[in-house]
Chain A
Amino acid sequence: MTETSFSSEPRPGSRFSFRDGLFLYTEECMGTVFAFKGFSSLEPALLGHHLERAGDILHEADRTFSTYKPESPISRLAAGQTTLAECPPVVSEIWDSCEDWEKTTDGWFSAFTPQNTFDPSGLVKTWAAKAAFNYLLENGVTNITLNAGGDILIGDETSDEVSWRVAIHKPVSVASEDAGLLTVLDLRGTDYRAVCTSGSAERGSHIWDPKAPGKEAAGSLLQATVVARDLVAADVWATAVFAMGPRAIDELSKYNSANPDSAVEALIVLPDGGLNATEGFIGLFAKPE
């Protein structure tokens, strides 16, 4: 593939490849990597421009919401150096969204820390990813999928079968020697477009060993994956399910019954390596080829 950049000053963490109509664009942001890929018949320069603009949206969100940047509005807000009214309007938008999600998940997702500060990190990445993705959809890049640091979004116009299939990683780091797949899902023909996985595999040195059960405290999970129509919903619910522990499947089933239009499916990996899932999840596994 040809490495091509179409900006006079490309960001160091950007890579763009475009050949035979297939493109791949990776952007380092928020401490992780966002990978956009798909097919396009746009002129390379125009496609490159749109993808860079999508990257701009990610970086703008990072500048506003990064808790690692002391000068960001969110950091200054947490430090009491500014007020919500003085922050960019998008901060209030995210604040309201977090309040709604806290209600929806019965408090299992919350952006309000024990220190009474506002930390929306749990949904900013997917909120920004969705905004970047929507920008591309609106500008003629519709045959596209996004991997936002492990959170997956699939465009309606995705044409190739393989791009509708999303693998779920084992509850170990993707960089570890034990890296590998838990399973593969196929979302083609469903209303679902987003897959998010919550877990502690990438933080710390947790080693998944089914022969040594009980390493995790009771009530916790090794990993939770949620499939939803919306990327932010998948992300929020993955966080909530992971926090809830083994009872999450029961709670989610009740939520789905009461809210069929926003139903989500979940797969959890239990502390001893076992699985549980919502009723509809079993229909999402990819059929063996």
Chain B
Amino acid sequence: MPRKVRNTVAQSAIVLATLVGGVTLTQHFSAGTGAFASAAPSSGTTAGSSTAPAPTGKPDKTVTSANISYPFGTVQLSVTRTAGKIAKIDIGSSTATNGRYQAFPSLVQAAISAQGTNFGNLSGATYTTDAFKQALSSAITKLG
């Protein structure tokens, strides 16, 4: 995994913000048809960015975070504020809606955090004998 990308994720510090009032949050991929495109959390759930907008009392506004780059894609967080202000900022791993969908940032972060761990076996799509022999010289793969 490119070290540059890993640092980007570590520094982006995904912050989950609790919003009050009629705020609609949309969390979606910048492109593609990922499952989360259809799992937009309803108001009352949380999303945010490390540069959450300060409450200013301004009228309704849509604030879009910078593209947050993950190794697995990009996520753009849009916050449409119709009323109220940011009441609390949480860093956590709360699920998005009904417990069946993992909050995207925490799932990816957990996956990334585990990457450097030593392991005994490697699971992948079934490889051919030739691919096995080629891969043996790589320090990353432990196929045998």
Chain A residues within CB distance 8 Å of chain B: 13, 24, 26, 28, 31-33, 35, 37, 125, 145, 147, 149-152, 154, 160, 162-169, 171, 173-175, 179-186, 195-203, 210, 213-214, 218-219, 223, 225, 246-247, 249-250, 253, 267, 269-277, 279, 281-282, 285-289
Contacts and interface: CB of A to CB of B under 8 A. Distances in A.
Contacts, number: 234
In the complex, the 8 A-B pairs of residues with the closest C-beta atoms, listed nearest first: A272-B32, A169-B124, A213-B32, A35-B144, A163-B120, A175-B134, A286-B117, A199-B125
A150 B117 contact: no
Contact of B129 (A33, A181, A184, A201): A33
Contacts of B115: 181-184
Nearest to B103: A282
B124 A31 contact: no
Contacts of A267: 111
Given A32-B127, A183-B112, A210-B73, A246 B122 contact: no
Nearest to A35: B144
B125 A184 contact: no
A166 B120 contact: yes
A250 B100 contact: yes
Nearest to B39: A276
Contact of A174 (B1, B95, B116, B143): B143
Given A185-B114, A213-B73, A269-B72, A166 B125 contact: no
B126 A125 contact: yes
A163 B121 contact: yes
B111 A275 contact: yes
B111 A276 contact: no
Contact of B131 (A174, A182, A286, A287): A174
Contact of B107 (A13, A173, A218, A282): A282
Contacts of B56: none
A287 B114 CA distance: 6
**Max chain A CB contacts within 10 Å: which of B31, B123, B125, B127?**
B125
B92 to A, nearest CB: 13
27 contacts: A147-B143, A149-B132, A162-B118, A164-B120, A167-B123, A169-B124, A169-B125, A174-B132, A174-B143, A175-B127, A175-B135, A183-B115, A186-B117, A202-B125, A219-B33, A270-B33, A271-B34, A272-B31, A272-B33, A272-B34, A272-B73, A274-B34, A276-B34, A276-B107, A282-B106, A282-B107, A285-B113
